[in-house]
């Protein structure tokens, strides 16, 4: 038998870790591969939360995060740091996920060494390079470099084919987020104490209708965030509602949300939740209000209506299925749409259908099979 192939798996933020730990596990279980994990730690605490629950110990940790980091400062550090690890490890292939600065720089550093790059969650496109910003361009750069493109759905496959990526390089695999969600749901079922950190809030808000909120997009900083904060303040003025909002550690988010919402009776601004607690928040929420990418995939899978606080989405599948709706960042629109869901049972029921276009929870296994075929070619 030939030597196992060394695969360098590169990631740095919370969502990449959630979406790649199933791939690392599948690679570890396959004798054809030796996975080597390099984290940039573009995120620190929020990345570590995922590493801890997944029991994943990176082989390399660049520990790059700086407070309120700039896109160029971060990207420069990523390129040199990841390049150094690639020179040391000399991987046969590099895997990146999604559209973060880490993923883009990881792909570019591999390309500079002529090492093939495989892209997990390929082909998402909003068609607008400033929404989301800078993710739309990050993933287009990765798309122009990648060897194998693992598209979550036929929509993302079509976007890649429209950019002239050869059809035999694109595979519809589903999204590994569903693998992660299944895994964490089973863990919580086996051990409910994994999500017991929310018990106190559940008691405080007993009888109220829970709205789960997350927000962090760079293009929403400034006016957009203020519009979102004011909407949450107005929503929480209703006595029948409670908002649970784990606040992203980005200081640009915390400043605005803290100033507008701290101390309100029906609002809990809390620290970022680890994955089991966040999955539990999804389960107990009546509606999710978010600008997150991953939450747009998880909430429909659980039959939770999602109001997406963005102008565009690269995940039209949830909108097409009726479980997600784009509401932008204008206060009046967010409040009107949310109240409609709270007060119009038929409107709520029309959205609250479990719908899962993003895979069957077997995506990581499928990706590793495809990688096996590729190295066997």
List contacts with ligand UD1 (CB under 6 A).
13-15, 42-46, 65-69, 71, 74, 99-101, 134-135, 216, 218, 249-251
Q: How far is the C-alpha of 149 from the C-alpha of 210, rounded, in Å? A: 38
Closest CA to 38 of 74, 73, 8, 4: 8
Residue 101 near residue 23, CB atoms below 8 Å: no
Residue 181 near residue 369, CB atoms below 8 Å: no
Told to judge if 280 belongs to the known catalytic residues of this protein, a careful annotator would answer: no
φ/ψ of 83, rounded to 5, equals: -60, -40
Using the rule CB under 6 A, is 294 a contact of ligand UDP? yes
Using the rule CB under 6 A, is 21 a contact of ligand UDP? no
Q: How far is the CB of 46 from ligand UD1 (least distance, A)?
A: 4
Using the rule CB under 6 A, is 329 a contact of ligand UDP? no
Which residue is listed with tokens 């590994």? 176
Q: How far is the CB of 131 from ligand UDP (least distance, A)?
A: 13
Which partner, ligand UD1, ligand UDP, none, binds residue 294 by CB below 5 to 8 Å per kind? ligand UDP
Using the rule CB under 6 A, is 91 a contact of ligand UDP? no
Nearer to ligand UDP, 103 or 231 (CB): 103
Q: Which stretch binds ligand UDP (CB under 6 A): 13-21, 79-87, 116-124, 318-326?
A: 13-21
Catalytic-role residue among 187, 218, 286, 311: 218
Which helix (H) or strand (E) element contains residue 8? Answer: strand 5-11
Q: Are strands 306-308 and 287-290 parallel, antiparallel or unpaired?
A: parallel
The site for ligand UDP, by CB under 6 A, has a size of 16
Q: How far is the CB of 145 from ligand UDP (least distance, A)?
A: 20
Q: How far is the C-alpha of 10 from the C-alpha of 205, rounded, in Å? A: 40
Q: How far is the C-alpha of 99 from the C-alpha of 101, rounded, in Å? A: 7
Residues with a catalytic annotation lie at: 99, 121, 135, 216, 218, 248
């Amino acid at each position: 038998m030939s030597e196992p192939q060394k695969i360098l798996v590169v990631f740095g933020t919370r969502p990449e870790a959630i979406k790649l730990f199933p791939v690392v596990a599948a690679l570890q279980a396959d004798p054809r591969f030796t996975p080597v994990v390099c984290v940039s730690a573009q995120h620190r605490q929020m990345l570590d939360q995922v590493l801890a629950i997944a029991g994943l110990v990176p082989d390399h940790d660049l520990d790059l995060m700086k407070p309120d980091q700039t896109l160029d400062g971060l990207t420069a550090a990523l390129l040199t740091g990841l390049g150094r690890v690639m020179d040391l490890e000399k991987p046969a292939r590099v895997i990146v996920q999604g559209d973060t600065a880490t993923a883009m720089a990881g792909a570019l550093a591999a390309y500079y060494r002529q090492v093939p790059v495989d892209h997990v969650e390929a082909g998402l496109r909003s068609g607008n390079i400033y929404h989301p910003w800078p993710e739309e361009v990050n993933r287009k750069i990765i798309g122009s470099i990648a060897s194998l493109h693992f598209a979550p759905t036929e929509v993302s496959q079509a976007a890649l084919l429209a950019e002239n990526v050869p059809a035999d390089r694109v595979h519809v695999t589903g999204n590994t987020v569903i693998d992660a969600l299944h895994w964490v749901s089973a863990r919580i079922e086996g051990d409910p104490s994994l999500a017991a950190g929310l018990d106190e809030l559940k008691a405080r808000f007993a009888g109220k209708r829970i709205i789960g909120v997350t927000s962090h997009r760079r293009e929403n900083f400034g006016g957009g965030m203020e519009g979102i904060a004011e909407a949450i303040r107005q929503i929480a003025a209703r006595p029948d509602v409670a908002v649970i909002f784990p606040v992203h550690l980005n200081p640009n988010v915390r400043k605005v949300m803290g100033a507008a919402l701290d101390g309100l009776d029906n609002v809990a601004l809390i620290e970022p939740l680890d994955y089991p607690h966040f999955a539990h928040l999804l389960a107990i929420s009546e509606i999710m209000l978010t600008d997150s990418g991953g939450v747009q995939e998880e909430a429909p899978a659980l039959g939770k209506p999602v109001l997406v606080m963005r102008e565009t989405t690269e995940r039209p599948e949830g909108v097409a299925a009726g479980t997600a709706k784009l509401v932008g960042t204008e206060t009046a629109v967010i409040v009107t749409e949310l109240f409609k869901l709270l007060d119009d049972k038929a409107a709520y029921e029309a959205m609250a259908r479990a719908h899962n276009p993003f895979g069957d929870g077997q995506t990581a296994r499928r990706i590793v099979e495809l990688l096996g075929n590729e190295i066997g070619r």
